[in-house]
Amino acid sequence: MQQSSEEFKPTMDLKDSLEILKWQIEMGVDEIIGEEQTNHLQTTVMATKPISLELEKETTSKREPSKSLIPENAPQSKVVNKAKALEDAEKLVSEVSTRQELKEALEAFQHCSFRNTAKNLVFSDGNPQAWLMVLGEAPGRDEDIMGKPFVGVSGKLLDKIFSEVGLARTNTQPQDSIYISNSINWRPPGNRTPTTQEIEMFRPFIWKHIELIKPKILMLTGNIACTAILNKAGITKLRGTWEKIDYMDVMPTVHPAFLLRNPIFKQHIWQDILAIKKKLIDLERDENA
Ligand code: URA
């Protein structure tokens, strides 16, 4: 429909707007997450920020370095109280004795701002009796929509690799199945990398999750999972080396999304999966001895 110049007074040249829109689509923008960008931790400071479009990365894309929404000069104690977040997380998990209760505790945890932009809590998938638990990083777009971990491109690759050695989340035998969760259970906006502080506030939930599943083997995919569990990063050096934590054998390995960008690491993840499979066979033999 034609509009008269009185009715429609663009503040920007239409051609420029179209060029910008075209560029945004090429860059992968496919979703607007809100009319206004809101830092729910400090609404007053952010109230004047301009409209933001969330740049969606495909599931395999590299996570962006964290860009804090918090202005540098903001008083830290007012922005987020790390000790209080941890205290509340610990209090919530102290009352948990089932996976359902853990899920409810995560839903009740108010300190992580990701919950404000995420669609769904992404809790877990697979067999809770599995001897092998896989801990990923954080949900991406597909996981956020489905409410399940590792259902996007990198998840499909992971399933394919596991299927080569007879492991699957749908298997019923504990020694042949997998239980999967993430270090962070809400999708970070724009797939950005969570900060150390954000990783830390989920630790009590992760450890409770591990305690409830009691896996014999814990596989850590990527640096965020290594930071959460081992308190260290540098996955290309950490991968392939067993660590022992209490009763669990822990194996760090490269994240499947990293693998998709760096296929040269295929042989490394393959070695790690074979080492895990061998350990499962040894454990089964020991159980039957
Ligand atoms: N990457 C992860 O680390 N976890 C997911 O659930 C999906 C992608």
Atom of ligand 1 at shortest range from CA of 256 = 1
Q: CA 137, CA 254: separation in Å to the nearest integer? A: 11
Ligand 1: nearest atom to the Cα of 225? 3
pLDDT (tens place) for every residue of the chain, 289 residues total: 444 444 555 556 666 666 666 555 544 454 555 444 444 444 333 333 332 323 233 334 466 555 444 445 544 443 458 899 999 999 999 999 999 999 999 999 999 999 999 999 999 999 999 999 999 999 999 999 999 999 999 999 999 999 999 999 999 999 999 999 999 999 999 999 999 999 999 999 999 999 999 999 999 999 999 999 999 999 999 999 999 999 999 999 999 999 999 999 999 999 999 999 999 999 999 999 9
pLDDT given for residue 241 in this prediction: 97
Please, which residues have CB within 8 angstroms of residue 107's CB and are 6 or more apart in sequence? 121
| Domains assigned to the chain | 80-288 (3.40.470.10)
139 lines ligand 1 (CB under 6 A): yes
DSSP assignments along 134-202, one per residue: EEES---HHHHHHTSSS-SHHHHHHHHHHHHTT-BTT--SGGGBEEEEESSSSPPGGGPPPPHHHHHHH
The angle at the Cα of 203, spanning 201 to 207, to the nearest 5 degrees, equals 155
Q: What is the pLDDT of residue 13?
A: 65
Its pTM surpasses 0.95:
no
What is the predicted pLDDT for the residue at 32? 52
Q: Is the CB of 126 under 6 A from ligand 1?
A: no
* CB of 137 shorter than 6 A to ligand 1: yes
Q: Which residues contact 220 (CB under 8 A, 6 or more apart)?
A: 135, 226, 228, 229, 230, 250, 251, 252, 253
> Two tokens at 79?
């922005």
CA angle, 112 then 189 then 192, to 5°: 100
142 lines ligand 1 (CB under 6 A): no
* Any atom of ligand 1 within 6 Å of the Cβ of 155: yes
Q: Report the run of H or E that residue 113 belongs to, with start and end.
A: none
Atom of ligand 1 at shortest distance to CA of 136? Answer: 3
Which residues contact residue 41 at a Cβ distance below 8 angstroms, ignoring those fewer than 6 apart? 70, 79, 80, 113
Residue 10 has a pLDDT of: 54
Separation of CA 137 and ligand 1 centre (Å): 5
State the closest ligand 1 atom to the C-alpha of 137, by its place in the atom list counted from 1: 3
Residue 139 CA to ligand 1 center (angstroms) comes to 5
For residue 81, the model assigns a pLDDT of 85
Predicted local confidence at residue 74, as pLDDT: 43
Instruction: Decide whether any atom of ligand 1 lies within 6 Å of the 159 Cβ.
Output: no
- If one residue of 58, 125, 179, 182 were mutated to test the ligand 1 pocket, choosing by the most ligand atoms within 8 A of its CB, it would be 182
Instruction: Report the b/e string of 131-164 with b at 16+ CB within 10 A.
Output: bbbbbbbbbbbbbbebebbbbbbbbebbbebbee
Q: Name the 3-class secondary structure at 125.
A: strand
Q: How far apart are CA 205 and CA 45, in angstroms?
A: 30
Cα three-residue angle 197-202-205, rounded to 5 degrees? 160
Lookup: tokens for 52: 């933001």
Q: Which pLDDT does position 135 carry in this prediction?
A: 98
